[in-house]
Structure formats: C-alpha cells, structure tokens
C-alpha cells in the first residue's frame, strides 16, 4: 500500500469481511438470547447487517476492488471470544448480559472502522461513498445505544440477582 486510496480500499475489504462474519454469526447469537426484547433487537440488527453487507459490497465494486481479498482478523477474534463466553454454564440473565457486552465490543470495533473509512472517503473526495459509510456508521451507533440502554435499565439488574 502506497497511498491513502490503497489503504482505504483495504479498509473497505476489511469492513466487508467483518460484516460477512457477523452475518454468519448472528443466527447463533439470536438463538442464545433468552430475553424477548434482546432477541428482537438482535434479529433487527441481523437484518440490518445483511443490508450493510450489500452496501459495502457495492462500495467495493464502485472502487473496483474485490471485497473478498481480505479477512478481518479483529472481528474473527471478537466472534471467537463471544462464542467462547457462550460455552460457559450461565443463568439466562447472565448469558444475556454477557451477550450484550460481547455484541457491543463487536459494534465498537465496527464504529471505529467505519469512522476511519468515512474520514478516508472524505479526504479522497469520495463524497457519495462517505455518505453511504456515514449512514452505516449512524446505524451502528443507534444499535449500540439501544443495547447499552437495555443492559443498563434491565438486563444487568436481572443478572445481579
């Protein structure tokens, strides 16, 4: 990589890989949740993820870069950590609290990655791409906020008992 454009294209490939890995993981996470509202939120996010994956694929096509040329090792590690947690013997409330925490870790990684990509797109004068990436970033922030509120207002309290 010799230019910011090269790095930007690599970032888009990384985002595509992260979204693809999440798409494959969400069915298991949804099955593990016991709280109905958490299940609903994860299901909505899973549906949103599919749209985001397609958006990133289209962005890669616009940039003439193959989105499948990279593997997001960070997301792979976060998913592995989440699955490892779910193997423990836990009460349903504790599992839901842990699930929220792990999904938020994945979300925070994505927020960082999308934020960086938005900045690169703007600096490269790729305004349409920057707008699409910003839209996805805003969706990530929204889900993270909902997960945080759910944990704070109810799930964590139930896990204390």
Q: Which tens digits make up the pLDDT trace of 86-125? A: 999 999 999 999 999 999 999 999 999 999 999 999 999 9
Tens of pLDDT, residue by residue over 18-76, are 999 999 999 999 999 999 999 999 999 999 999 999 999 999 999 999 998 789 999 99
CATH number for the domain spanning 62: value is: 1.20.1260.10
Return the pLDDT at 1: 87
Query: What percentage of the chain has pLDDT greater than the value 70?
Result: 100
Rounded (10°) CA dihedral 72, 78, 80, 81:
160
Q: What is the pTM of this model?
A: 0.94
Return the pLDDT at 138: 98
Q: Which two tokens stand for residue 11?
A: 């970032």
Give the chain's domain count: 1
Q: What is the mean pLDDT of the chain?
A: 96
**Helix intervals (H) in 66-91:** 73-86
Return the pLDDT at 22: 96
- The answer to whether 42 touches 33, Cβ cutoff 8 Å, is yes
Confidence of residue 136 (pLDDT cuts 50, 70, 90): very high
Return the pLDDT at 38: 96
16 dihedral zone (left: phi>0; alpha: psi -120 to 50; beta): alpha
| Domain encompassing residue 18 | 4-160
Distance between CA 81 and CA 136 in Å, rounded? 24
Rg (CA), the chain: 17
Residue from 108, 54, 56, 51 nearest 82 by CA: 108
Return the pLDDT at 20: 97
> Phi and psi at residue 2, in whole multiples of 5°?
-120, -15
């Amino acid at each position: 990589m010799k230019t910011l454009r090269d790095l930007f294209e690599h970032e888009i490939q990384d985002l595509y890989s992260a979204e693809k890995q999440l798409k494959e993981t969400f069915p298991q996470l949804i099955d593990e949740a016991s709280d109905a509202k958490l299940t609903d939120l994860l299901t909505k996010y899973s549906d949103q993820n599919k749209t985001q994956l397609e958006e990133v694929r289209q962005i890669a096509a616009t940039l003439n870069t193959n989105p499948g040329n990279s593997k997001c090792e960070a997301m792979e590690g976060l998913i592995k950590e989440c699955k490892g947690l779910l193997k423990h013997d836990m009460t349903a409330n504790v599992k839901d609290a842990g699930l929220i925490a792990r999904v938020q870790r994945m979300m925070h990684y994505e927020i960082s990655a999308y934020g960086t990509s938005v900045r690169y797109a703007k600096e490269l004068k790729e305004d349409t791409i920057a707008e699409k990436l910003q839209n996805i970033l805003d969706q990530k922030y929204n889900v993270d906020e909902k997960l945080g509120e759910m944990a704070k207002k109810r799930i964590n309290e139930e896990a204390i008992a």
